[in-house]
Chains A and B, each alone.
Chain A
Amino acid sequence: EAGVTQFPSHSVIEKGQTVTLRCDPISGHDNLYWYRRVMGKEIKFLLHFVKESKQDESGMPNNRFLAERTGGTYSTLKVQPAELEDSGVYFCASSRTYRGATNEKLFFGSGTQLSVL
């Protein structure tokens, strides 16, 4: 079974530019999550999709971040315009929903390292 795939693995952009991160979850996983780790700090929740709907976006830092999951398959996370403090590692994770409850086992991708200069 293919794992969670994230692209690109690294991105270096200048402040003010736009960057789009992509996540392909494991096939059949309705739940898709975005997390990020800012340098030296803990990994923090950004948002959760169930299929194409945003279930919880309470962790999104501000309106420069836009996440989409059209068709309920892959997801994109766009940062526009990027600021220096957006630098960090962005992780995507997916899980199944089993009998109406979320399976606790999340499968994580290897992350996208974003550097804003």
Chain B
Amino acid sequence: AQSVTQLDSHVSVSEGTPVLLRCNYSSSYSPSLFWYVQHPNKGLQLLLKYTSAATLVKGINGFEAEFKKSETSFHLTKPSAHMSDAAEYFCVVSDRPNFGNEKLTFGTGTRLTIIP
């Protein structure tokens, strides 16, 4: 069975300061890991994904995440927060990325607030 734990339900940072959103996962297989973002009244958008290639993954809008197998973590970071980053972020795991079924397991989400 697979699961994801997002350690913070809310994170607030000042504009221009670093962002860290934490995620730990549990998976029976070699997992694929994703971060999705949802802005108000918008669909879920893929930020980045890890699929057993490079452990440091770069995504859109300056975000990146590092897969650490020894810590079972996949934390999302950004060096400098922008007001437009305010949204809800979801850490997601998939055990069967290419078996014909994208049965994703989502974390409970982290709401990121940017302080002007």
Contact = CB atoms under 8 A, between A and B. Distances in A.
A104 B100 contact: no
Given A43-B106, A44-B106, A108 B43 contact: yes
B101 A106 contact: no
Interface in A78-117: 91, 93, 95, 97, 100-102, 104-111
A interface: dominant SS: strand
Given A41-B108, A42-B108, A108 B100 contact: no
A97 B90 CA distance: 24
Interface string B62-106: 000000000000000000000000000010001001111111111
Contacts of B97: 102, 104
A43 B43 CA distance: 13
Contacts of B104: 35, 45, 106
Given A3-B43, A42-B107, A110-B41, A101 B102 contact: no
Contacts of A3: 43
Contact of B94 (A91, A101, A104, A109): A104
Given A41-B108, A104-B51, A48 B42 contact: no
Contacts of A108: 36, 43-45
B98 A111 contact: no
B43 A91 contact: yes
Contacts of B113: none
Contact of A102 (B45, B49, B101, B106): B101
Nearest to A97: B100
A6 to B, nearest CB: 8
Nearest to B4: A42
B106 A50 contact: no
Nearest to B96: A102
A33 interface: yes
Interface string A23-59: 0000000010101000001111100101000011001
Interface of A: 3-4, 9, 31, 33, 35, 41-45, 48, 50, 55-56, 59, 91, 93, 95, 97, 100-102, 104-111
